[in-house]
Structure 1
Amino acid sequence: MNYTRFTLVETRLNRLTETIIGCAMSVHSELGSGFPEAIFQRGLGVELAAANVAFQAEVHLPVFYKETSIGSRRADFLVNDQVLVELKATSELTSLNYAQAINYLKAYHLEVALLVNFGESSLRFKCFLHNPSRPLSH
């Protein structure tokens, strides 16, 4: 079992994910809920820029199947070329939202994704980790 490496990946990106979540909290505090996802996306872009965090919005990332690029999909944010940020503005996150984040991690060959929901009265988020040398299920 490669638990040590998995823990190191998680720890290495904690500061970055904390910054992203803090920026999302600022947006939610200012706007509340009830706006379309695009409004929250623009607000988060403003906050990430103010925090001097390198990011790309609405970036097209290659989708891999058996190590072969087979197309691309748009991601809401790619932060520091390391963290995928998927935004929602819905009344609650569902298992389909979770599956989307997990599948994006595998297909994009990334290690960390944040699923952020602005649609509830309190900001909700979930962090997903994927280490290709360690399966997602325990």
Structure 2
Amino acid sequence: MNNRLTEKIIGAAINVHRVLGPGLLESAYQECLFYELEIMGLSVSREVAMPIVYKDIKLDHGYRIDLLVENKVVIELKTVECFTDVYTAQILTYMKLGNYPLGLLINFHTKLLKNGIKRFINTA
């Protein structure tokens, strides 16, 4: 099911990119991808608060997951020239803190969206 779920998400992202192309703000892609996933019948939340728990305290520092699908797949959207290690660390941290099994890092600032997608599996 997890592979089928990420395939659906990637397909929706490709549809959004095909219509809009590169060059827009991340928020535009987020809104359109949210819409696409919802009309597919998937449970999707946006701007999901991600608190940090350190020992006995909970720190709410405004970290937010761009999209969370079926409470399983963290989607982090970017509109950047290229991915950096910081983006990878960010999505892996969100997955670890929320104990989410899968993550997709999607960069809409590419000519072909398939070249701007990285899939992650939480092995922790």
TM-score by length of structure 1 reads 0.80
Q: Which amino acid aligns with 2:118?
A: K
Pairwise CA RMSD: 1.7
Where in structure 2 are there 5+ consecutive unaligned residues?
Answer: none
Q: Secondary structure of 2:105's partner? A: strand
The correspondence for 2:42, drawn from 47, 53, 75, is 53
Whole-angstrom CA distance in 1 between matches of 2:42 and 2:36: 9
The correspondence for 1:88, drawn from 73, 78, 83, is 78
Q: Which amino acid aligns with 1:93?
A: F
Q: Which amino acid aligns with 1:102?
A: L
Partner of 1:79: 69
Percentage of matched positions with identical amino acids: 36
Q: Is the 8 A contact 1:64 1:109 kept in 2?
A: no
Matched pairs, number = 121
TM-score by length of structure 2 reads 0.88
The correspondence for 1:110, drawn from 100, 103, 109, is 100
Where in structure 1 are there 5+ consecutive unaligned residues?
Answer: 1-11, 133-138
> Is the alpha carbon distance of 1:131 and 1:65 closer, same or farther for their aligned partners in structure 2, counting shifts above 3 Å?
farther
**Greater C-alpha Rg:** 1
Partner of 2:8: 19
Whole-angstrom CA distance in 2 between matches of 1:87 and 1:41: 7
